[in-house]
Amino acid sequence: MSITFPGESAHYRAARDRLLEQEIELRRATEAVAAARRELPPGGVVPQDYVFQGAAVDGTPSEVRLSELFAPGKDSLVIYSFMFPRDPGDERPGPVTGQTARLNLAESPCPSCTALLDQLDGAAQHARQRINLAVVAKSPLSRIKAHQHRDVRKPEVTLGDLARLIHRAA
């Protein structure tokens, strides 16, 4: 069954139907890859309990071990690598307000990462029911925390609630 739109040509409809067939095949291929990924055997043992700089509940710097990122009953860990500082070739404008706006462009956070993390805030409370989340970056912890508290809309779940924002050594 094909849907047509008012004023569309037969040429457009034929091209659109071909594209729809490709989209359906792409979806099937994506689902097959996801099924194959779920069937993978367990990976290798992590050779050491990596240590990150993190923030304690009271905000003071603390060490966070990789093993501490796993809450009881949750064996999956999603780590997002926040590009902060951004890629040296990224010349998109930086933030215009807040403490990170004072940084030169090369030291500022990646705009796409910032947007993704802002969007993830809304889904965090649901995702955290089943998985562990962590965000890592190469910037000093003080700079990450300044960015975390930048002047933006204040969602109900903040990035700090979303995950332990941690600094990894370069």
For residues 141 and 56, the answer to whether their CB atoms sit within 8 Å is: no
Tokens of 77: 């860990």
State pLDDT tens for residues 46-70. Answer: 888 888 887 777 777 788 888 888 8
pLDDT of amino acid 25 = 98
For residues 69 and 71, what is the distance between their CA atoms, to the nearest angstrom? 6
Amino acid letter, 163: A
Name the band, by pLDDT with cuts 50, 70 and 90, for residue 20: very high
In this predicted structure, the answer to whether residue 33 has a pLDDT above a threshold of 80 is: yes
For residues 138 and 85, the answer to whether their CB atoms sit within 8 Å is: yes
pLDDT of amino acid 152 = 43
User: What average pLDDT is seen over the chain?
Assistant: 78
For residues 100 and 151, the answer to whether their CB atoms sit within 8 Å is: no
What is the Cα 41 distance to its own chain's centre?
25
pLDDT of amino acid 161 = 37
**Phi, psi for residue 99 in degrees, rounded to 5:** -65, -35
